[in-house]
Amino acid sequence: MMQLFLGIDGGGTGCRAAVAGGDGRIIARAEAGPANIASDPDAAIRNLLAVATDAMKQVVGASAAAELPRLRVVMGLAGANFTPSVARLRAGLPFTALRVETDAFIALKGALRDGDGIVAAVGTGSVFVRQLGGVAHRIGGRGWVLGDEGSGAWLGRALLSACLRAGDGLAEITPLLKSVRAELGGDDGIISFGFSARAVDFANFARRVVGSDDPAAGALMAQAEADIAQYIALLQPNPAVPVVFLGGIGTQIAPHFADRWQIAPALGSGVDGALWLACQIGVEP
Q: Would residue 150 be called left, alpha or beta, if left means φ above 0 and alpha means ψ between -120 and 50 degrees?
A: left
- Map the footprint of its own copies across residues 192-211, applying CB under 8 A: 194-195, 197
| Whole-angstrom Cα Rg for the chain | 21
CB of 248 to its own copies, least distance (A): 23
164 belongs to the binding site for its own copies (CB under 8 A): yes
Span near its own copies by CB under 8 A; candidates 7-15, 45-53, 107-115, 185-193? 185-193
Residues 95, 105, 231, 276: which binds its own copies (CB under 8 A)? Answer: 231
What is the per-residue binding string for its own copies in 72-101, x denoting contact by CB under 8 A? ----------x-------------------
Span near its own copies by CB under 8 A; candidates 1-9, 155-163, 241-249, 276-284? 155-163
Residues 66, 191, 226, 258: which binds its own copies (CB under 8 A)? Answer: 191
Question: Is residue 10 within a helix (H) or strand (E), and if so which, with residue range?
Answer: strand 5-10
- Map the footprint of its own copies across residues 4-63, applying CB under 8 A: none
The residues, any chain, with a CB within 8 Å of residue 177's CB and separated by 6 or more, are 159, 162, 163, 166, 171, 214, 216
Name the β-bridge partners of 245: 120
Alpha carbon distance, N-terminus to C-terminus of the chain: 24
Q: Please state, in angstroms and rounded to a whole number, the distance separating the CA atoms of residues 227 and 225.
A: 5
152 belongs to the binding site for its own copies (CB under 8 A): no
The strands making up 72-77's β-sheet, listed across from edge to edge, are 26-32, 15-20, 5-10, 72-77, 97-102
**Residues making contact with its own copies (CB under 8 A):** 82, 139-140, 142-143, 145-147, 157, 160-161, 164-165, 168-170, 187-188, 190-191, 194-195, 197, 230-231, 234
